[in-house]
């Protein structure tokens, strides 16, 4: 019996097949085929293809019927024949009709960029959530391509086990099965997403920093360096797809949360963006984004633009952010970072490998904390002394003084944390709470509303 999993292509297995890469680039672009298809080569290698050659055609836009022009398509077929290649891979998403005509011309299977990325995601999906997300994206990608898969469309089902006569075409039966599976997987992902929202909401008093950026920019490596998180970090595209959140103890003792997210890439299939929305929920709920860029990449500026575009598409453009230029240890001429600093003059340059620049990154994060949090003086009575450890862990302590009434503590904290502290026994300090001779702590005369800054 045919199942939806049978209908969708096997995205889970890598292939040691030799493949010829091809694409269309704009007129006037001076890059060679290898340069223009550099990222596609990385993707193909990650999916265990051996790149047998690269070919590009310069034209204004792809041919709507065959993607490449007739002459270039014939040239591609000849290259495939000479290289004895087992597949061709396109740098763009192809329509089902384009893929069908290219396959007929070259005589070997055709993959487009979306299908290749789906293969990679499936290879690296390790948790039930990631597997469901990849399956949903694969099913949605495959739905309009069913007609290409079947060569027996004229056959019809007349009754149970009977071929011929009036009835449903096999493609209609398969399409119905796919729709049912898509609905089932989407419901399960929705349940996961709702759980994720509740999980994020359960820790509102902790400042959260999310690592976002282009794939292979070093997000997981940075998380391991800062938190000793034990997250898988490989020099491969999309080596990890799962969101992980770990406590990060800042210099001075304060703890915040650091979240690692799935990497971005240009021309990311929209099916994947939609299905991985739950995975990105942590980033969307963060107080601060660290946008990592591989500063050593010749395409670093383009990668930064791609990340900003993806964040905008996720309605995360307004979240405070720090641009982090990673892999300083691989950059011999650091003047090459000038273009990136023109895009963001406040960007921080670091090397996760050597540790260079991490102190500057810590300072930048502390500055952002002071921008978005409240500074005030609290009186913590002796009867509520247990709150002090909580304050030291989750807020920035500026000063402490012990008095007969309790501990007068000047803090920088989130509004949510302040509200919690006030509800559990702390109160805003008043002028008479100041020990004699203590200066520098400003205590306004007016009483603030409960749970808010003065």
Please tell me the distance from the alpha carbon of residue 415 to that of residue 272, in angstroms, as a whole number: 35
Confidence label for 67 from pLDDT (cuts 50, 70 and 90) = very high
Identify whether 445 is part of a domain.
no
Looking at the structure, tell me whether residues 213 and 335 fall in a common domain: yes
Confidence label for 151 from pLDDT (cuts 50, 70 and 90) = very low
Residue with more model confidence, 394 or 103: 103
- The strand pairing partners of 54, in sequence order, are 21
Looking at the structure, tell me whether residues 15 and 61 fall in a common domain: yes
Angle at 400 between CA 425 and CA 247, to 5 degrees: 75
Identify whether 447 is part of a domain.
no
- Residue 136: pLDDT above 50? yes
Looking at the structure, tell me whether residues 47 and 177 fall in a common domain: no
Looking at the structure, tell me whether residues 360 and 396 fall in a common domain: no
Residue with more model confidence, 307 or 28: 307
Residue ranges making up the domain that contains 281: 204-370
pLDDT averaged over every residue in the chain:
81
List pLDDT tens digits, range 320-352.
Answer: 899 999 999 999 888 888 888 888 889 999 999
Identify whether 244 is part of a domain.
yes
Please tell me the distance from the alpha carbon of residue 17 to that of residue 276, in angstroms, as a whole number: 29
Per-residue model confidence (pLDDT) at position 81: 93
Structure tokens at 346: 């406040």
pTM, rounded to two decimals: 0.71
State the average pLDDT over residues 57-67: 93
Identify whether 454 is part of a domain.
no
Q: What sign for the dihedral angle of Cα 108, 113, 114, 115?
A: positive
- Residue 369: pLDDT above 50? yes
- Nearest CA-CA partner of 101 in 84, 77, 125, 120: 77
Looking at the structure, tell me whether residues 84 and 98 fall in a common domain: yes
Identify whether 452 is part of a domain.
no
Identify whether 444 is part of a domain.
no
> What is the four-CA torsion angle of 45, 226, 273, 194, rounded to 10 degrees?
140
Identify whether 448 is part of a domain.
no
Q: How many CA atoms does the CB half-sphere of 349 hold within 13 Å?
A: 16
Looking at the structure, tell me whether residues 55 and 162 fall in a common domain: no
Per-residue model confidence (pLDDT) at position 111: 92
Residue 128 main-chain phi, psi, to 5 deg = -55, -40
Say which CATH number the domain at 19 has.
Answer: 3.40.50.11060
Say which CATH number the domain at 273 has.
Answer: 3.40.50.300
Looking at the structure, tell me whether residues 209 and 354 fall in a common domain: yes
Percent of the chain with pLDDT over 70: 80
Please tell me the distance from the alpha carbon of residue 443 to that of residue 454, in angstroms, as a whole number: 9
Identify whether 129 is part of a domain.
yes
- Residue 238: pLDDT above 90? no
Residue with more model confidence, 262 or 50: 50
- Residue 158: pLDDT above 60? no
SS3 assignment for the chain: CCCHHHHCCCCCCCCCCEEEEEEEECCCCCCCHHHHCHHHHHHHHHCCCEEEEEEEEECCCCECCCECCHHHHHHHHHHHHHHCCCEEEECCCCCHHHHHHHHHHHCCCEECHHHHHHHHHHHHCCCHHHHHHHHHHHHHHHHHHHHHHCCCCCCEEEECCEECCCCEEHHHHHHHHHHHHHHHHHHHHHHHHHHHHHHHHCCCCCCEEEEEEECCCCHHHHHHHHHCCCCCCCCCCCCCCCCEEEEEECCCCCEEEEEECCCECCCCCHHHHHHCCCCCHHHHCCCEEEEEEECCCCCHHHHHHHHHHHHHHCCCCCCCEEEEEECHHHCCCHHHHHHHHHHCCCCEECCCCCCCCHHHHHHHHHHHHHHHCEEEEEEEEHHHCCHHHHHHHHCEEEEEEECCCEEEEEEEECHHHHHHHHHCCCEECCHHHCCCCCCCCCCCCCCCCCCCCC
Domain count along the chain: 4
CA 323, distance to chain mean position in Å, is 15
List pLDDT tens digits, range 265-319.
Answer: 887 776 676 666 655 666 777 889 999 999 998 888 888 888 888 888 777 878 8
Most confident of 19-23, 114-118, 242-246: 19-23
State the average pLDDT over residues 388-407: 88
Most confident of 168-177, 239-248, 392-401: 392-401
Looking at the structure, tell me whether residues 224 and 321 fall in a common domain: yes
Looking at the structure, tell me whether residues 87 and 173 fall in a common domain: no
State the average pLDDT over residues 20-24: 95
State the average pLDDT over residues 136-147: 80
Residue that terminates a domain, selected from 121, 148, 176:
121
Percent of the chain with pLDDT over 90: 27
Looking at the structure, tell me whether residues 17 and 109 fall in a common domain: yes
Query: Looking at the chain, how many residues does it have?
Result: 454
Please tell me the distance from the alpha carbon of residue 409 to that of residue 379, in angstroms, as a whole number: 6
Q: CB burial class (10 A; 0-12, 13-18, 19+) of residue 388? A: middle
Looking at the structure, tell me whether residues 269 and 333 fall in a common domain: yes
Residue that terminates a domain, selected from 200, 215, 241:
200
Least confident of 24-33, 153-162, 208-217: 153-162
Per-residue model confidence (pLDDT) at position 44: 92
Residue with more model confidence, 158 or 85: 85
Looking at the structure, tell me whether residues 365 and 386 fall in a common domain: no
């Amino acid at each position: 019996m045919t199942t939806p999993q049978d209908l969708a292509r096997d995205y889970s297995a890598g292939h040691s097949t030799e493949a010829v890469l091809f694409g269309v680039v704009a007129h006037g672009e001076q890059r060679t085929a290898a340069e223009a298809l550099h990222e596609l080569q990385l993707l193909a290698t990650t999916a265990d293809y051996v790149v047998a050659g690269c070919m590009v055609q310069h034209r204004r836009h792809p041919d709507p019927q065959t993607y490449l022009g007739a002459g270039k398509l014939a040239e591609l077929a000849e290259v495939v024949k000479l290289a004895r290649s087992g597949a061709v891979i396109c740098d763009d998403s192809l329509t089902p009709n384009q893929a069908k005509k290219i396959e007929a011309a070259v005589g070997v299977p055709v993959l487009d960029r979306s299908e290749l990325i789906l293969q990679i995601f499936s290879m690296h999906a390790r948790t039930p959530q990631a597997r469901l997300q990849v399956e949903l994206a694969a099913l949605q990608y495959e739905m309009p391509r069913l007609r290409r898969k079947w060569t027996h469309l004229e056959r019809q089902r007349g009754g149970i086990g009977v071929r011929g006569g009036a009835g449903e075409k096999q493609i209609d039966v398969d399409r119905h099965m796919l729709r049912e599976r898509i609905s089932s997987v989407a419901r399960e992902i929705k349940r996961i997403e709702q759980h994720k929202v509740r999980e994020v909401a359960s820790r509102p008093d902790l400042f959260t920093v999310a690592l976002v950026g282009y794939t292979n920019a070093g997000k997981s490596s940075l998380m391991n360096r800062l938190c000793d998180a034990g997250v898988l970090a490989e020099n491969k595209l999309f080596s990890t797809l799962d969101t992980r959140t770990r406590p990060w103890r800042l210099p001075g003792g304060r703890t915040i949360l650091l979240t690692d997210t799935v990497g971005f890439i240009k021309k990311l299939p929209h099916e994947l963006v939609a299905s991985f929305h739950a995975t990105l929920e942590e980033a969307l709920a963060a107080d601060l984004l660290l946008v990592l860029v591989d500063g050593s990449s010749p395409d670093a500026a383009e990668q930064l633009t791609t990340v900003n575009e993806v964040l905008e598409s996720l309605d995360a453009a307004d979240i405070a952010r720090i641009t982090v230029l990673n892999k300083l240890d691989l950059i011999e001429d650091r003047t090459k970072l000038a273009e990136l600093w023109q895009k963001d003059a406040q960007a921080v340059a670091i090397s996760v490998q050597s540790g260079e620049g991490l102190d500057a990154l810590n300072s930048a994060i502390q500055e952002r904390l002071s921008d978005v949090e409240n500074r005030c003086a609290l009186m913590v009575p002796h009867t509520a002394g247990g709150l002090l450890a909580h304050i030291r862990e989750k807020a920035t302590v500026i000063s402490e003084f012990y008095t007969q009434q309790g501990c007068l503590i000047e803090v920088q904290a989130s509004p949510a944390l302040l509200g919690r502290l006030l509800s559990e026994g702390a109160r805003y300090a008043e002028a008479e709470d100041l020990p004699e001779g203590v200066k520098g702590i400003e205590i306004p005369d007016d009483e603030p509303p409960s749970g808010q800054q003065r």
